Amino acid sequence: MTIQDDLRRQIETASGGQMTVRFTDKGQPSYFYRLKKFTLDSLGAGFGTGPHPAFVVDGIEKDEILIGVHQAAEVDGEMVSQPGLVPRAVIDHDEAVALARATGTGFCVVTNAIHAALALQCRAANRFPRGNNNYGRAYNASDEWGVDDAGNATEGGGAETIRAGSGPVSWNHPPTPFGVQNLNGNVWEWSPGMRIVDGEIQIIADNDAVLAATDLSATGPWQAVLAADGTLVAPGTAGTVRYATSGSTAGTLVCGSGSPFSSMTANSVSDAALDRLRALGLMQPGAPIESDGFYINTLGERLPIRGGSWPAGSRAGVFALNLGYARGLRYANLGFRPAFAI
């Protein structure tokens, strides 16, 4: 047995199968949570049927998804999910995708579909993890904090990002040492596989955005959602679903920028289309849900960042969705999360 095989066995045994390890091309370990396949109808009414789209890759159903326990850090030119590291930030969408793909076969960025699957599992458990959304602390639990990039505890506030794994277990989902950390706050996360163009919602089908061969550029295989029946059609087709910040135009999902995601309403959008959009975390799913924020700019191409960041307060959370920025944005509180395509 190799050292790598031995470490994987130890981690899987210690975690009861919740966590596993994959190794980069340079042999660096990355730690992943194993999210097992679930069906949409297991979430209740309003999501459709069949496997959640995050578990369908290139037409094949997957038994599990590997999600980075930690937000991505960069070590020796590779993306890793490791405790104790500061998240890689000031990176744009395409740079994050390129770094992930250069790390090794199977490595990718957590897509919008994967993020939605995890958020919906939090909702199904009626448990929404807290996190670093108040300068190193949880805004609604001031006795919960992490450790900043200088190695200092942040209970006094005034910090920004925290090191991976330095927050309490109560911030994880599930709430064990092996759950996914920092889903609420710390740094926003790029979530490939979805975008809007002039407000029109466009997606990469299923979870094909994890594939290294998938073109995630502006000219990639994007599809829009027909309001009448949820069918995926060519962008720009008449009658597709769009976001709007106000009004009652047919085929729109309406929510003011900066408002709670839970306040989103639909105008003449079919149940089938709403099912698809709820499954992808693009339409509010109904209670239970917290006050996670929705932000948008409907001019041109905008790509999703999710989860919130260290100053977001009550607007951070697993359903927080920001569609306000172009793919070239680089910001100090914007990073991403590793995934591994099996």
Percentage of the chain lying above the pLDDT 70 cut: 99
The pLDDT of residue 1? 57
On whether residue 143 sits in a domain, the answer given is no
The pLDDT of residue 148? 85
From the list 242, 211, 208, the residue with the least C-alpha distance to 222 is 208
Distances 123 to 179, 202, 279, 342 between C-alpha atoms, Å: 15, 24, 12, 25
On whether residue 226 sits in a domain, the answer given is yes
From the list 25, 111, 140, 137, the residue with the least C-alpha distance to 305 is 111
Kindly state the average pLDDT of the residues 204-221.
98
pLDDT surpassing 90 at residue 342: no
Rounded Cα distance between 186 and 337, Å, is 12
On whether residue 255 sits in a domain, the answer given is yes
The pLDDT of residue 2? 81
Q: What amino acid occupies position 144? A: E
On whether residue 249 sits in a domain, the answer given is yes
Counted domains in the chain: 1
On whether residue 134 sits in a domain, the answer given is no
On whether residue 23 sits in a domain, the answer given is no
On whether residue 315 sits in a domain, the answer given is yes
pLDDT surpassing 80 at residue 150: no
Tell me the residue range of the domain where 271 lies.
Answer: 191-323
On whether residue 217 sits in a domain, the answer given is yes
pLDDT surpassing 70 at residue 156: no
From the list 242, 255, 75, the residue with the least C-alpha distance to 164 is 75
